[in-house]
Amino acid sequence: MFHGFRDEMIGLPEATLRVRHGGSGPPVLLLHGHPRTHATWHRVAPILADHHTVVCPDLRGFGRSTIPEDTRDHRGSSKRAKARDCVSLMSRLGFERFAVVGHDRGSYTAFRAAMDHPAAVSHLAILDGVPILEALERCDARFATAWWHWFFFAQPEKPERAITADPLAWYGGSAEQMGDEAYAEYRAAIRDPRVIHGMIEDYRAGLSMDRHHDAEDRAAGRRLACPALVLWSLRDDLQDIYGDVLEVWKPWVAGALSGKGLDCGHHMAEEAPDQLAAEILAFLRSQ
């Protein structure tokens, strides 16, 4: 897994991140979702590494990276804080400007990195996500039924108690889908109560700090300056809930916006790695 990549713990001003990086060429940062680690990219990263320097961290609060200190406002788990980690990490590796791809919860950190640090982010790819503010403001019975976990995870203590009782039963996943080594990394992460807490705090920040930051951006008229690619899984529910996903994104993007649905389930990096890598490469080449 990740043949030829370096595997390091990299200390940054606010956190220490576990990072795999390799390849050569223009840099691209890949951000995983919940409840995965950086290992979810192990089938995509080597394809991209033929043309790019590829950086795959465990986000703060996930995998082997720093678990943020608890605060009442969940500030340490905000996407703004995680975006600062991303910019610091890439600078530490020698890159002041880079492309970023984010899946699921990682898409919110990718979005925040591009919004808060426009000089640093050259391209933004969002996989299976819309802005948190849009999701909450458009919330209806259909959303609440399908994405009920957003609101359960926001409750104190109970989510952690439920998940730690049997993490594998809660989250699912298999070596067949993920690959043996990636599955081993995933199992180790979700069996660690500290990591479970860090992952749940990501959701608590989503309904508080992150929502507030999105609202501030919209009120100030801030929009994404870089080209944006949005991809979604046709076998998941994003299109069912929002219809035209690109229409949701249009008010947030000042630059070029493109996207499409992929014929796969939610974990597209594991289920359709060749197609996903091809879409990312085409996007980075065309802009």
Beta 27-31 vs 53-57: how paired, if at all? Answer: parallel
Which residues touch 12 (CB under 8 Å, ≥6 apart)?
Answer: 85, 88, 89, 92
**Which secondary structure element, helix H or strand E, spans residue 186, and what is its range?**
helix 180-190
CA angle 148–150–151, rounded 5-degree value: 75
Q: Which of 51, 117, 212, 266 is catalytic?
A: 266
197 is catalytic: no
Q: Are 63 and 38 spatial neighbours (Cβ–Cβ below 8 Å)? A: yes
Q: Would you call 207 exposed, middle or buried from its count of C-beta atoms within 10 A (0-12, 13-18, 19+)?
A: middle
Which residues touch 91 (CB under 8 Å, ≥6 apart)?
Answer: none
266 is catalytic: yes
The one-letter amino acid code at 211 reads: R
Q: Are 62 and 195 spatial neighbours (Cβ–Cβ below 8 Å)? A: yes
Q: Which of 58, 85, 104, 210 is catalytic?
A: 104
- Angle at which helices 193-205 and 158-165 cross, to 10°: 140
Q: Which positions are catalytic?
A: 104, 266
